[in-house]
Structure 1
Amino acid sequence: MNRPLRTAPLLLLLAACAATAPREDTAGAPHATTAATPARPQASRAEIALAPASASLVSGKLTAVPMGAGVHLAGEVGGLAPGAAHAIHVHEKGDCSAVDASSAGAHFNPDGAPHGRAGQGPHHAGDMDNLSADARGVARVNAHLTGVTLGDGGARDIAGRAVIVHAQPDDYRSQPAGNAGARVACGVIRVVR
């Protein structure tokens, strides 16, 4: 009757060792997951459904796909002032629950860089060029974020973060967010698997 009790600690020890031992792939090399190594391959696509914020009528739909050394965003945003320019950024949190979208936090900035214009010196990883609305108040998005990933779980992954459209254009200088004004639309970057 005591025999099962004596083997129980041994079984627990073996189970713990098996749970923490490195896994081997087919080539026999152990898998290691570090902060520098993505936990999984990038996703092939994500969708962003932009919903109004701050009592605006701005909405839209974007797609995000890995491309080159980054992620490309494309789609349309409507409900903007005709002929106006508007800032658009990736923000650090995928939370659009606040009426003014403040729940999305600051710009996505894993490097701690100052705000600026993408491709022209230091800038946040989530900084993009301003959108230009046409005469109907629709802006076409065609933006490329360099140095970010999509859905791999790494430090530069934008999946699960928010895209914010602002009421004003980004001046690309003012800290910390380019003096872009109210957040008029917010959408979470959702991976489509």
Structure 2
Amino acid sequence: MKKLILLACIATISFASSCKNDKKETTEETTTTVEEPVVETKKEEVKKIKIKLDAKSESNVNGSAVFTEQNGTVKMVAVMDGLTPGDHAIHVHEKADCSSADGKSTGGHWNPTAQPHGKWGATEGYHKGDIGNFKADENGNGTITFETDQWCIGCGDPNKDIVGKAIIVHQGIDDFTTQPTGAAGGRVSCGGIIQ
């Protein structure tokens, strides 16, 4: 009989202890914090230069050009007035020096890779400054938009960096053949690409 009572006591104590542990487990709240991974998106730096184009060679051609670099591409938008109606050439020249009256202080076409003059993208070769031709309307207003990944703004690469160069607008058209200028005629407007 003592054994039975002892067993009953042990069973009661075990049951009570078990219930107490169950109760303790159910009343304790567990808080788990799951942290979301932080995804950093790197903003691509946008570089921008706006230049003024001034009349040269006794012309009335003025305007501006904006160069914007983003995602490895440089976009140029040039807007001019005072042109004669028709087609005109526009090039990047070697130096940002527009001090001479005829614009020749800018030197020749920018050609860091020593290629022959030609149409942009030609397999026979072209200067990095050979932008091409654009049309002026009957009022003498002209606009050209040009994009390339072969230029950069202030990157320091002598084969790509347009800073320190100049934009020259010519009186005539670029024939893409005549060396080394394309026979584009006088320099009627100039703007140094300076940061």
Matched, 1:133 2:136: yes
Say which SS state the counterpart of residue 62 (structure 1) adopts: strand
Equivalent of 1:164, from 168, 171, 174?
168
**RMSD of Structure 2 on Structure 1 (CA):** 1.7
Structure 1: which 5+ residue stretches go unaligned?
Answer: 1-41
**With CA pairs under 8 Å and 6+ residues apart, which has the higher RCO, 1 or 2?**
1
Tell me how far apart the structure 2 counterparts of residues 90 and 157 of structure 1 sit (CA, whole Å).
Answer: 11
Equivalent of 1:94, from 85, 88, 96?
96
**Bigger-Rg structure (1/2):** 2
Tell me how far apart the structure 2 counterparts of residues 176 and 80 of structure 1 sit (CA, whole Å).
Answer: 24
The 5 Å alignment of 1:63-142 reads 63-67=66-70, 69-82=72-85, 84-121=86-123, 122-142=125-145
- 1:120: Cα distance to partner? 2.4
Query: 1:95·1:103 contact (CA, 8 Å) conserved in 2?
Result: yes
Letter of the 2:193 counterpart? I
Tell me how far apart the structure 1 counterparts of residues 161 and 178 of structure 2 sit (CA, whole Å).
Answer: 25
Letter of the 2:182 counterpart? G
Query: 2:89·2:133 contact (CA, 8 Å) conserved in 1?
Result: yes
Alignment deviations for residues 122-146 of structure 1 (CA, whole Å, 9 cap, x no partner): 1000111201001211111211244
Letter of the 1:180 counterpart? A
Letter of the 1:64 counterpart? F
Query: 1:165·1:185 contact (CA, 8 Å) conserved in 2?
Result: yes
Query: 2:46·2:70 contact (CA, 8 Å) conserved in 1?
Result: no
Say which SS state the counterpart of residue 103 (structure 1) adopts: helix
Tell me how far apart the structure 1 counterparts of residues 169 and 55 of structure 2 sit (CA, whole Å).
Answer: 9
Tell me how far apart the structure 2 counterparts of residues 102 and 95 of structure 1 sit (CA, whole Å).
Answer: 9
Q: 1:95 to 1:150 in 2, by over 3 A?
A: same
- 1:43: Cα distance to partner? 6.5
> How many residues in Structure 1 have an aligned counterpart in Structure 2?
150
Say which SS state the counterpart of residue 163 (structure 1) adopts: strand
Say which SS state the counterpart of residue 130 (structure 1) adopts: strand
Matched, 1:144 2:171: no
Equivalent of 2:177, from 146, 165, 173?
173
Q: 1:43 to 1:92 in 2, by over 3 A?
A: farther
Equivalent of 2:190, from 183, 186, 190?
186
Structure 2: which 5+ residue stretches go unaligned?
Answer: 1-44
Letter of the 1:118 counterpart? W
Letter of the 2:50 counterpart? E
